[in-house]
Copies of this chain bind each other. A is one copy, B any other.
């Protein structure tokens, strides 16, 4: 039961698209990830997913619009909504999402990450 300094936690890893668990709030996990490049289209069947940009600039592409998220901005992707995160430059993101959430949504792909570490 310690406090978490988000900036310090981000110094502990360098890999992209590999979320780390930094907190647990009832049924939700708080995760941190560094994103760079383009991910893949996916959706989560039963989970809403909050993207909160801590550093950098993230393009969240939905099928019907593009959302640019700057530092200090968040967007909650509702369950069932397809999305594609794109980071031209490295972006640091804090996620709030149910513990059941798989990073690639409904599909298992080579980018799926399971057994997320806790930092």
Across the interface, name the chain B residue whose C-beta is closest to A23: B76
* Docked-complex contact B73 and A3, CB < 8 angstroms: yes
Q: Chain copies in the assembly?
A: 2
Mark contacts of A60-80 with chain B using CB atoms, 8 A cut-off: 1 yes-contact digit, 0 otherwise.
000000010110111110110
Main SS of the interface on chain A?
A: strand
| B23 pairs with A69, CB closer than 8 A | no
A-B contact pairs, 27 of them (CB 8 A): A1-B78, A3-B73, A3-B74, A3-B75, A4-B73, A4-B74, A4-B75, A5-B70, A7-B72, A23-B50, A23-B74, A25-B28, A25-B48, A25-B49, A25-B76, A25-B96, A25-B98, A26-B27, A26-B28, A26-B47, A26-B79, A26-B97, A27-B27, A28-B28, A30-B50, A30-B74, A96-B96
